[in-house]
Amino acid sequence: MRTRLPYPRLLRAGAKYKQEEEPEEWMMFFRRTGRLRKEYDEKLLAQLNQFKQHWQQEKSLLEISFDPSEEVICQTKVAEAKYIFLLREAKQRKVTFYRA
């Protein structure tokens, strides 16, 4: 079975392109990909904001503490690592966050 290309084929040298009736499936796939990417980018930004707030809260608790326990220090480092991981993921995906 031959697969159809998403672009028109050339009939012969110097001739115009032949527009075949192509199924819209491949176009639907790319539209869906864009919509999914946008949806997951929004989720990533929401998680990024949530983890940033959590890390800042843990950091302020650590600074306020007179004698912080090892558990509090570890929780702060874990919160920072999660935030940095999501920040790198957002940078890799080239996600931008505009504040209004």
For 61-86, how does the pLDDT look when each residue is reduced to its tens digit (9 = 90+)?
Answer: 999 988 989 999 999 999 999 999 99
In a domain, 35, yes or no: no
Query: Helix, strand, or coil here: 31?
Result: helix
In a domain, 26, yes or no: no
**How do residues 38-54 score in pLDDT, each as one tens digit?**
888 889 999 999 999 99
Q: How many domains does the chain have?
A: 1
In a domain, 69, yes or no: yes
Containing structural domain, residue 94: 41-100
In a domain, 15, yes or no: no
Res 34: pLDDT: 76
In a domain, 51, yes or no: yes
36 torsion bin: left (phi>0), alpha (psi -120 to 50), beta (else): alpha
Res 2: pLDDT: 59
